[in-house]
Structure formats: structure tokens, C-alpha cells
Amino acid sequence: MASISALSDSREVLERMAWNQAHDRLSNFLNTFWLSDHCEVSRLTLKLLGEARELHRQDPSRDPATLVMEQTQKLLAEWLAANLEERDRASSQVFSSGCIALLLSRMPQAAPGAFLASSLSEDLRQSMHQTLLVTGPDLKVSSMTPRHIDYGPMLGLAQKTWHRWNSREIVIAALFWLGVYFVFYRWLSDLL
């Protein structure tokens, strides 16, 4: 009986540690948005953890930290899509460009209570729209045929000097560097 009780206690401790880790990760994630009100970060963290606990009761096999972060990112992507009126784009595109627009608009510092609120005021929406980055057209695969590169007069100059070996100049350069080596060797051995 004692081993069952100890096993149950260790399971509870592990679950508590997993939820503490989920809390810390979620709090750190929310702090990346520079919310100026720490109480708002705590309120959002506890609210999102409560929602994740409900989902965890339905499927206890999932890791709490992973579940919390997936749900938070999904909620944030939906909130950004609704407020930026970008519902026709992929969730990952909305999430990345929306987070940038959110940070550049400085809305979390100016109005931390509006972060993840059901609806934003028109002026907050406009400030986010003004900073929304448009990255350009989608990437399209195309083929590039190789072309000859014209180096101009540099090609002739390089061919004249690179392809011609002068043994006299090589011997002079080797003797020079050998002399430099011996001078420094002698100088350093006198110092030590």
C-alpha cells in the first residue's frame, strides 16, 4: 500500500513540475511581447493555463508545456488574423507578420489590457495595420541557365600573371620569408 501511495505522490510531483514548467514557458513567451503591465502577464498566463488544463483533462497523454504553447500560439494567430483582417492567409504567415506588426506598433506597451482581448479599438487596429510588413511576392521556383561571365580587362591581366611561373621570383620570396623567420626567431630567443 505504501508503494502505491509513494507512486501516486511521485506522479503528482511530476505533474506539478510539468505544469510549473508550462507556466514559466508561457510567462516567458508573453514577456517577449513587452507587455508593460506585469499583472496583465500574470492574468493572461493563469487564464491560458486554465484553458490548457481543461484540454489536458480530455487528453492527459499530452505534455502540459507543449499543449499550453500550442494553444497560445493558435489563439494568438487567430487574434492577429481577426484584428489584422488577414483570414485568407496561412496561420504561420499571419503569426509571423502579425507578431512583427504587434511589436512595431508598440500596442502591448501602450494598451496591455488590449493584448489578446476579444476586440480592439479602431485606433489600435490602425496602428497595427500601419506597421504590418508586406514581405513581397511568394517564392516561385524557376530555373536559371548558366551564362558566360565577362570579366573584361581583368581576365587578360589575371591570365598573364597567374598562369606564368617565374622560378627566380619564387626563390627570392622564399629567401625573404626565411630571413624574416630567422630574424624573429633570433630576436625571440634572446628575449627568453
Give tens-digit pLDDT for 73-125: 888 888 888 777 777 777 777 777 788 877 788 877 777 777 777 777 777 77
Q: Is 32 helix (H, G, I), strand (E, B) or coil?
A: coil
CB contact at 8 A, 127 and 102: no
Which three cell numbers mark 52? Answer: 490548457
Give tens-digit pLDDT for 12-44: 888 888 888 988 898 888 888 787 778 888 888
Taking alpha carbons only, the member of 44, 48, 58 closest to residue 19 is 48
Give helix then strand counts, H and E, for the chain: 8, 0
What residue spans define the domains of the chain?
11-131, 153-191
| Residue 132, pLDDT score | 65
Give tens-digit pLDDT for 109-120: 777 777 777 777
Dist CA 29 CA 74 (whole Å): 13
Environment class of 175 (CB within 10 Å of its CB; exposed 0-12, middle 13-18, buried 19+): exposed
pTM for the model: 0.57
